[in-house]
Each structure stands twice: as structure tokens, then as C-alpha cells.
Structure 1
């Protein structure tokens, strides 16, 4: 069931997030407390409200340079649940689009975008988005996107989707439950197979859209989204005209797998305290973005999950990659695998392993020299365009056969 056709990106004149709003009300003026914080702590003593405000301001490590103190307050809210993530995104969407990044600066004009929420079979609101070519341009095919761990489809992928759409493709994306703007506990994957089933559920509806009738349909997965994509394909081996994987997470390197006692303890804890944030999480920006200037923009992905990994999530990711590794020979779809040769998050040798073992008769592997994990967003501009053009060229050649 579709809940809404379009989300407004413009803050209301009465919004507490509007930069010109009179957000300091009554006695709160003495503390300079934003209205949204005062409202959320209604009934609390002024001293407690002020202390909460001061504690938030004190979080210098998470401060985003170049935005106001109020915007930093908004970004520092607890993101465990979807309503706060949606408020944060609403406040930052215009700022994100103005970043000095080629994906935003050189985004094609005229692309038709739509945002909406749908209720999935579990009763969760799932955020969905589409990018279609400008009116009058023939649609060649559909491309459905699966995002990476902790990520969303509303930041860098916006620019990627627009460029692909400009070449004549209808691009569709969703945020998994617990990620981005979709409902669910932030960063929590209680079952990887269920997550995959939700993706299949949504994209089955997408493939039935009138504008896609008779057209080839492809699926693209990045990083953890590569594991999602492979599992989707393994469950639906004849439902896709091609699979594209970008730096896919499809096999855990032996030197990364925890010792057996740690694995057993993690499995036990995942049953007892599954939502606990216990696994260490470091800033991965240096491993994702090769270009330092682009690396600094990672903090603007304000609704990404960057906290410690939840216990059940970690166990589910290990199980998923193990399952994929055991079935890799069953990968039979036309396959394009793209990977940065210097990626230290997902091993390019694993992509080579996948390429060699897959039973696909039509398969291509491209390794990009010196490329880091984020070859679609963290590389020099010319490399980003090269990777996107490689995807489009591969799509074009498969669509011409239909």
C-alpha cells in the first residue's frame, strides 16, 4: 500500500528546523534552547533541559563543519527510530545537494524523481524512490538498487541514479528496514534472509509497473548490497536480466573471520541480547574515499548508521556471506563485477573468486587500479564517471539484445 506520492524537501515556515524560524520560546530564551528540543522534553525541569542541550553541544567529535549549531543539534539526535531520521534528513537535504561533489554539481537536469512509503508484509513503512529519464526519452530498462551496510539511497546514490537515468534507464531504490528512512531499529538486521525477502517483495511490485512492461530488468548491489543482490538472484535465478555488483561483500577473508570461540560467543549473545551494540566500529571513511576532499563529505550522510555493530547484525552478515560462498557456482545471471583494486574493506580477490566460480556464461570483471571501496563516490571525478559509464555501457549492450 502506497502511503504518499511525494515528500516535500522544503521545510515549513513553522518548522523548528527552518533556519529563520523563531525557535526560542518563552523561558527557553534564557538557555537558547531550540524549540524541537524543548518540545521533546516537555514537563522536564529547565535545569535538565539546559543540561541536555549543553551535553549535545559538547559532542565536538561529531560536529559537522560548515553548518550551524542548530543543524548540528538536529544531526546529533538519537537515530534509533525512523521519525528522528526523517526529521534529520528533511533538515539536511538542501545542504547535501549543495555539496562540492561531482555527483551533485553535475547532476543531469530534467530527471523525474518520486519518493513514497509503502507498507511491507511485516507492517513496516519502507522508503522508496525512483529516478526516470526526462519526458520524451525512451526507457531502455529498469535498474533496481541495493545499498550497503549502514547506508541509505538518499545521499550519494541520488547523483549516481540521476546520471544512469539520464542515459535512458528507470532507476529504483529502497531503504531496508532499520536503515535510512525506513521503519525499524537503526542498524539492526534480525534476519538477513528476511531482509532479502523484503527486497524481493518490493522489487516484484516495481517490475510490474506499466512503464516497465516488456523491458529488461537489472539489479545493482553495492558492498553489503552486493550480498543482498546475490541472495535475491539465488532465490530468483530467472527473474533478472542481469546482476551488477560494486565492491560486493560476498565472502569473508580468512584473516578477518573471528576465532571460533568468539564466533560461538557472538552467536550466543545474538540470541540473548541481539540488539546490543557490542562490536567495535571505527571510522571507515579513510577506507571508502580515496580522495581526501570527498572523504570530508561523508559526515553529511547524516542518517547513516555509524555506531557499533549490533550483535545479531554481525552474526547475520557472517551467515549470509558463508551461505553465498557455498552457492557461488549457482550464480547464473549475466554478471558485471566492479571493484577497486586497493579496496581494504571488501577484498577484490573475493570478486575475482566470484567471477571465476560463477556459472554465468556472460560475465565481466573490472578492477580499477588504486581504487578504494567507494569507486562510485570516493574516487577522483574522472574515475567516478568511468565506473558509471562502464555500468551504462554494460546495460546498453544487454538491452540491445532484447
Structure 2
């Protein structure tokens, strides 16, 4: 059972508790009396309403032991990673262990790919981590700008994805959003989704302006929440991209992992008072994201991923963003490749179908992978992961050829 609890002043001046619980039967909100009596006009009541309003009882998570590393490394992984310096320290310590994992993304390390990591302060004064992967011995056919998912980073699993794409002749560029991965900001906190999208546009605009890439096609690639980011980027820059790849895009969060309306209304009010608090009840989605148990168990090595309960304002921003995207599907005009597992219980594959059907793009492809979970590039059997890669790279090749033909006419 998941639970949140809070307190408030009843109409009779008594202190009552407000409990939000989730069990096998669903969500419920209940009040229960507390022993302490408080007059409505008392100083303590004023302080309660203005300063705390709600005290949360977090669900207690058992610490997951990371196999294959020593006790000191496990202790390091349990450190507070609210801020970037701690995340950077932990990432550096775990990189060797990550690279030795028995996962196809780490084992397939194609030669001839050069990588670069950098930090740059953006126009909002935030230090942003970014990374690129470029083919060394062949000309760059096009560039792929990647938008990562919620809680994630452009390192770890994406390293293998990026190297595979780069080895096929594409420059791959990505950044960690503010508050995620190695970028500056409170971990897992999105105070304004549109500002995050603007940060992404700012970074990728600098990439595209480089002289080496001015004449090559440019593609967006968004995964999960990054799919919502990529769609918002496209909607703000409808003529500046040659195509968009969406993998399990967060056009709508599946109802099974979203609280019902009455609970959302309470949490929405709380988000205005306690925006940064980790109070949004949620399932451990790793079981829903990774189909293969062996690969699911490797996800714990992604030590800088945000794994706590969602911060209230972050949750409200994600819900608001998906609601906005659902109403703007007809405005999507980019060439589209939409890839989704048909058994995904994290982001709703039916909305990917709606995007395919409603978008104004004249060039669009939807592929649903039978029995595929949310992480079709990381958590599926190896053969399925290779299949998804082949679909992506074949689409990129076709659209680069198309761009060349159109330019020559």
C-alpha cells in the first residue's frame, strides 16, 4: 500500500488528518481525528496553514544492494544527490562498473566513434552537461538530437544507443536537462516544462549552427518524456527539423500509474505550497519498463537517475504538458517515426496511434512491437533491441537520401 498523510483544521477547530492511500482496490481520501485540539484563531493554526499545511509520510523504500560493487560504492550510491556535484562524483565512481555490465548496449561498442563531454552555462545561468558522439572515419550524413526521459540522463544506457547510431554515420548530440543527470539544478525538479523545452532549443540551436552541420539534415529523437520534449520543440520550431523519431513518447501518462481526479486535485493544490516536495504517489515502474528481468536488475547501476517519489510541481507540469500535447496532435507536421511497445503500461500506446492518425504529417510511420514494454531500446530481449535499431537507422537512411534528392532537384 502507498500512502500520504497530512493535517488540517476542521470547521470545529480540531486538528484532523487527511490520508491519501493506494491499495489493490485503488485510491481513497480519508479524514481521521488527531488528539491535539487547536483553536481556529490560534497562532499555531496560522503557522500550520502558512508554513507546513501538509506533512508527508513517505513510503519507505528498502535500499537496493548493487551487486558487483563493494560496500563503499553502495554507500556512495545512497548519498543525497539533490545537487549536481554529488551526482557527478557518483557517476565518475560508477562508470567502470557500468561499462562492464553484461548488456548488449554496453557490449556492442563499435569502433570509429569519437565522444566529447562538456559543461556550458546557458542563458538562464544554469550549468548544462552535454555529450556528443561522432563517426571518425566517414562523413556525417545527418545529426540526431536526443531528448532523454524523465529521471534519466544522456549517459548510461544511452551511451550504447548513441554509439550505434553514430557508427552508422550520424552525429548524435544530447544534454541533461536542468535538475537531471549531470546538469545543475535540484534533482528531478521541473518548475516549468516550457522553460525546459527552451533550454533544449537553445542547446541544439548551437549544435546546428556549427559549420560542419549547416548543410546536413537534422532530426529530433525523443524517448518517453523526451518524446513530449521533442514534440514541443517541433511545435515551437515547425520548419527547422527534417524529421522526428519518437520512442514510447509521453503524449499521455497511462491511467494505471496516475492517481484519480480527486487525489490529483488535492495534489495540485499542494504543489503550489510545497512544489519541491517528493509527495506524488507513484509505482515503482521498473517492472513495467523492462521486460527482461536481467536487464531490469541492471537499471540500478544508473545511479544518477532520479528514483524517488516525484516532486509535486514536476508531476503537475508533466500532466499539464501531456494534456496540452493531446489537444495539439493535429499541429504536428514533421516527418514522423513512432515506435512503441504495445504492452507499455507507462506511456499509453493508444495515444501514439492517435498521434499517427491525427498529425498533419504526410510522411509518418507507426510501429507497435508485440508484447513490448516501455523501454524497447533497453529492457527487451537483444533481438528486439536490434530490431528497433534497424528500424530507426533504416528510417534515417531513407530520409537522408530523400533530403539529398530534394536538394539536387
Using the size of structure 1 for normalisation, the TM-score is: 0.83
User: What corresponds to 2:126 in structure 1?
Assistant: 124
Q: After superposition, what is the alpha-carbon deviation per residue over 1:246-284, rounded to whole angstroms, capped at 9, x for unaligned?
A: 000102456665443333322221111100110123322
Among 71, 75, 79, which residue is 2:77 paired with?
75
User: What corresponds to 2:193 in structure 1?
Assistant: 192
- Partner of 1:221, secondary structure, is strand
Larger Rg: 2
User: What corresponds to 2:113 in structure 1?
Assistant: 111
User: What corresponds to 2:271 in structure 1?
Assistant: 270
**Is the Cα–Cα contact under 8 Å of residues 290 and 371 in structure 1 kept in the other structure?**
yes
**Is the Cα–Cα contact under 8 Å of residues 115 and 131 in structure 2 kept in the other structure?**
yes
Q: How far apart in 2 are the matches of 1:346 and 1:335?
A: 18
Q: How far apart in 2 are the matches of 1:198 and 1:79?
A: 22
User: What corresponds to 2:229 in structure 1?
Assistant: 228
Q: How far apart in 2 are the matches of 1:257 and 1:380?
A: 28
**Is the Cα–Cα contact under 8 Å of residues 281 and 307 in structure 1 kept in the other structure?**
no
Q: CA RMSD in A?
A: 1.3
Q: Which runs of 5+ in 1 are unaligned?
A: 1-58
Q: After superposition, what is the alpha-carbon deviation per residue over 1:5-31, rounded to whole angstroms, capped at 9, x for unaligned?
A: xxxxxxxxxxxxxxxxxxxxxxxxxxx
**Is the Cα–Cα contact under 8 Å of residues 88 and 182 in structure 2 kept in the other structure?**
yes
More strand by share: 2
- Partner of 1:66, secondary structure, is coil
Q: How far apart in 2 are the matches of 1:290 and 1:257?
A: 21
Q: Which runs of 5+ in 2 are unaligned?
A: 1-60, 404-409
User: What corresponds to 2:103 in structure 1?
Assistant: 101
User: What corresponds to 1:292 in structure 2?
Assistant: 293
User: What corresponds to 1:202 in structure 2?
Assistant: 203
How far did 1:197 drift? 0.6
Among 94, 102, 105, which residue is 1:92 paired with?
94
Q: How far apart in 2 are the matches of 1:370 and 1:235?
A: 34
1:371-386 alignment runs, 5 A limit: 371-386=372-387
Of 185-194 and 288-297, the range deviating more from structure 2: 288-297
How far did 1:349 drift? 1.0
Q: How far apart in 1 are the matches of 2:210 and 2:369?
A: 35
**Is the Cα–Cα contact under 8 Å of residues 250 and 325 in structure 1 kept in the other structure?**
yes
How far did 1:66 drift? 1.3
How far did 1:106 drift? 1.3
Q: How far apart in 1 are the matches of 2:189 and 2:156?
A: 20
Q: How far apart in 2 are the matches of 1:254 and 1:148?
A: 18
- Partner of 1:243, secondary structure, is strand
Q: How far apart in 2 are the matches of 1:347 and 1:122?
A: 33
User: What corresponds to 1:393 in structure 2?
Assistant: 394
- Partner of 2:63, secondary structure, is helix
How far did 1:370 drift? 1.1
Q: How far apart in 1 are the matches of 2:283 and 2:268?
A: 22
Count residues with an aligned counterpart.
Answer: 343
How far did 1:62 drift? 2.5
Using the size of structure 2 for normalisation, the TM-score is: 0.82
- Partner of 1:239, secondary structure, is coil
Q: After superposition, what is the alpha-carbon deviation per residue over 1:119-163, rounded to whole angstroms, capped at 9, x for unaligned?
A: 1111111000000012x2011000000000000011100000000
How far did 1:225 drift? 0.5
Q: How far apart in 2 are the matches of 1:71 and 1:102?
A: 24
- Partner of 1:314, secondary structure, is helix
Q: How far apart in 1 are the matches of 2:237 and 2:284?
A: 35
Relative to 1, partners in 2 of residues 1:191 and 1:60: Cα closer, same or farther, differing over 3 Å?
closer
Q: After superposition, what is the alpha-carbon deviation per residue over 1:217-252, rounded to whole angstroms, capped at 9, x for unaligned?
A: 000000010011111111111110001100001024
**Is the Cα–Cα contact under 8 Å of residues 240 and 333 in structure 1 kept in the other structure?**
yes
**Is the Cα–Cα contact under 8 Å of residues 115 and 134 in structure 2 kept in the other structure?**
yes
